[in-house]
Every structure is written in C-alpha cells, then in structure tokens.
Amino acid sequence: MKATQIYACPSENHCAACSYNSKTHGQTKKGSFIEAAANVVLGYSIMVIAQRIIFPWFGIDLAMSTNLKIGLCFTVVSLIRSYVLRRLFNSIKL
C-alpha cells in the first residue's frame, strides 16, 4: 500500500463489499444509498413500534394501517434526507 493510499481498500480500484472507490476517496453513490436504506428500514421498524406505544399517551388512537402509512411517509423523507446528507458530506471530504 502506498503512503498516499492510507484509506484505500485492499482491492485495486473498488471494493463492492465496503463500497469504497479509491478514485473519489469515499463511498460510492450506491454504497451511500444502501447504507441510508438500511438505516431507514431499521428506523421505520422502531418508529412503528414507538408510535403504537406513544400515540395513545396523547390520546391518538389510530388503526395499524394508518400508523404504517404515516410511518411510510416519514420513511421516504428520512431516506431522501439521509442520502442527500451523506452525499453532501462525502463531497466536502472532511
């Protein structure tokens, strides 16, 4: 490994397993999307459970199908936010 490639993946230019692209020194767009999607899916699951517990405390009684639809709307927003934020920070190259 060369000194200038401190963060390089062991493969020549790209490693699908770690989504590392040595040409950009960061995550690929596909890698960013996969990470954001995994984060959002987990968040959606937690959020649906939290809604079922917390909403009744505030007198909000919704059918499970309505909870799932509300959760889906927020999940789409969260996925877009996560992806855009990841790409923004990746372009800054902190």
pLDDT, position 5: 43
Count of structural domains, the chain: 1
43/76 Cα distance (integer angstroms):
11
pTM, entire model: 0.53
- Residue 2 in any domain: the answer is no
- Residue 16 in any domain: the answer is no
Terminal Cα-to-Cα distance of the chain (whole angstroms) = 22
Is-contact 37 86, C-beta < 8 A? no
pLDDT, position 90: 79
Domain that holds residue 73: 29-92
Location of structure tokens 């770690």? 18
- Residue 79 in any domain: the answer is yes
- Residue 73 in any domain: the answer is yes
φ, ψ at 65 (rounded to 5°):
-65, -35
- Residue 20 in any domain: the answer is no
> In order along the chain (94 residues), what is the average pLDDT of each group of 10 residues?
49 55 65 81 88 93 91 85 83 75
- Residue 60 in any domain: the answer is yes
